[in-house]
Amino acid sequence: MKCLVVLAHPLENSLCHYLSDKTIDHLRSKGYDVTVKDLYQNEFDPVLSKSERQSYYASQFDASRLNSEITQLREAESLVLIFPTWWFGFPAILKGWFDRVWAPGHAYNHASDLGSITPCLDNLKEVKVLTTLGSPWWVDVFVLWKPVNRVLKIALLGACTKGCKFKMLSFYKSENASKSRIDGFVRKIRAKF
């Protein structure tokens, strides 16, 4: 299965990078053909350009600066997103990747009457998400109702895919995590992914 891993953390010695390495090793051991897209290392520009935004409702989206990224997404059968949750949202670079790469005519199509959009990512069969949070689990779950989970599952995948499996693992209170907690989370990744 062709797997695209998108990593979004600026620090190479971060927990996200560590979890990414463990996840990639695990996926390769299961036979996945893994391509890694490290948004910070690749200096991905998250800013939606004026021409890109103007082309959102044109006959063709201006993908001139995004051809390889869009091709990677369109060819992926499995997508793995690894990122920190900051202020209960995505890092700006990952949000920009969604804004620019999950584009009309590629990830979805607009309806002629500007009604419901239709999905284009028919090749995408599964999305797996790993995120780290500084907060305890109950704040994400009970206070904020898991906003990142809802945006990914309902807004992005609900609009751009059909029958795509979704799995999300969140590592809470990650800023002072012990080695044993991290090892336990890696075991969870291996069991669930």
CA angle at residue 170 from 169 to 176, to 5 degrees?
140
Report the alpha-carbon distance of residue 48 to residue 41 in Å, rounded.
Answer: 19
Task: Write down the pTM of the prediction.
Answer: 0.96
Instruction: Give how many domains the chain has, as a whole number.
Output: 1
3-state secondary structure of 35: strand
Q: Using one digit for the tens of pLDDT, what is the confidence trace for 16-43? A: 999 999 999 999 999 999 999 999 999 9
pLDDT per position as a tens digit, 33-87: 999 999 999 999 999 999 999 999 898 999 999 999 999 999 999 999 999 999 9
Q: What is the CATH number of the domain that holds 26?
A: 3.40.50.360
Domain that holds residue 113: 2-192
